[in-house]
Amino acid sequence: MKYRRLGKSGLKVSELSFGSWVTFNKQVDSKLAEKMFGICFDAGINFFDNAEGYEAGESEVVMGNALKSLNRPRDSYCVSSKVFFGSNKNPTPTQIGLSRKHVTEACHQAMKRLQVDYLDLYFCHRADPETPIGETVWAMHNLVTQGKILYWGTSEWTADEISEAYEFAFENNLTPPTMEQPQYNLLDRKRFEIEYAPIFEKYEMGTTIWSPLASGALTGKYQEGIPEGSRASLKGYEWLKKHMIDSDRGKARMEKVNKFMPIAEELGTNLTKLAIAWCLLNDNVSTVILGASKPEQLKENIESLEVIPLLTEEVQKKLSSI
Ligand code: NDP
């Protein structure tokens, strides 16, 4: 495992990390999570991603229990949470968004559920047009000075919103964001490569990228239908199935997957590993957050590191042309 600096901070994160969206508390319980974290630690993974909104906070409970059982030194790994969507299924207006109140309380609640004294990374899960950006920056800065969070960042903010947060922090001598958590994979490139290009240059922002396999589409396993137990088959994720498969957009993406697959085969690997390895070719990626519902998937995904040297410029051009 190699380690990359999280933007211009001094924090070194493993180039592959592990997240819990959809899986923890739905497909993965604390016992299985413990096994999967064991695989991660053995491979050198040092960052685990979570959010208040995943399974209404229960994903953090599963992660907290599993990490506690493993009893690794707290200074040897990083955990995150994200604030915005709330952890209450029927939230009141003060239980969501990026107000000082919710940002502060969500941090306290996440630390409790994760059974940690501080969060290493804390993200604004989306931008909140109903809270002045300065209020959120101040709230994050205060949490940093209180030692409750170490680095703060954004997730799926526009380049303009991110710039506003940096500029407000600089003008007021507050702690600026360190990282953004955007989607980035072979099928979703535009925001990361085009919209963010100027702010990577200007702020040296780090990134913890999500859905490297586009929720599993880039494994190729949906080409013959929807496998039983897969993400697109889960109750409550019908919207994702539509987005991934049952829409014009989904169909067009699946056609691209069909074209990617033989390129992986020609290289003697598979699309899953190629797709994950491809994300790491971009220097603006600090870490690729893996998702897995089974230990075997996690092991396979970690093996993608071996595929990086196969991705020559010629191969990259072929992929880009699709
Ligand atoms: P992926 O795109 O890699 O999708 C992961 C899913 O694909 C798995 O749960 C599994 O689903 C399937 N899969 C993974 N590996 C394999 C394999 N080798 N063979 C077959 N199927 C496989 O990542 P995620 O979408 O899970 O995103 C990763 C992390 O990023 C999340 O856990 C979360 O921490 C973060 N995230 C952040 C977001 C944000 O807004 N900030 C949004 C989304 C994610 P199954 O077995 O059920 O089919």
- How far is residue 166's CA from residue 141's CA, in Å, rounded to a whole number? 12
The residues that bridge with 12 in the sheet, in sequence order, are: 5
The domain locations on the chain are 3-214+283-308
Among 153, 109, 95, 104, residue whose Cα is nearest residue 127: 153
What token pair was written down for 48? Answer: 């685990």
Ligand 1 geometric centre to CA of 98 (Å): 26
Atom 14 of ligand 1, nearest CA residue:
292
Tens-digit pLDDT profile for the chain (322 aa)? 999 999 999 999 999 999 999 999 999 999 999 999 999 999 999 999 999 999 999 999 999 999 999 999 999 999 999 999 999 999 999 999 999 999 999 999 999 999 999 999 999 999 999 999 999 999 999 999 999 999 999 999 999 999 999 999 999 999 999 999 999 999 999 999 999 999 999 999 999 999 999 999 999 999 999 999 999 999 999 999 999 999 999 999 999 999 999 999 999 999 999 999 999 999 999 999 999 999 999 999 999 999 999 999 999 999 999 9
Catalytic center residues: 54
Q: From 188, 215, 234, 304, give the residue whose CB has the most ligand 1 atoms within 8 Å, as the site to mutate.
A: 215
Rounded to the nearest 5 degrees, what angle is found at the Cα of 150, between the Cα atoms of 89 and 190?
Answer: 70
Atom 8 of ligand 1, nearest CA residue:
292
Q: From 13, 17, 20, 22, give the residue whose CB has the most ligand 1 atoms within 8 Å, as the site to mutate.
A: 22
Residues framing ligand 1 (Cβ under 6 A): 19-23, 27, 49, 155-156, 181, 210-216, 219, 221, 230-231, 272, 289-293, 297, 300-301
3-214+283-308, which class in CATH? alpha beta
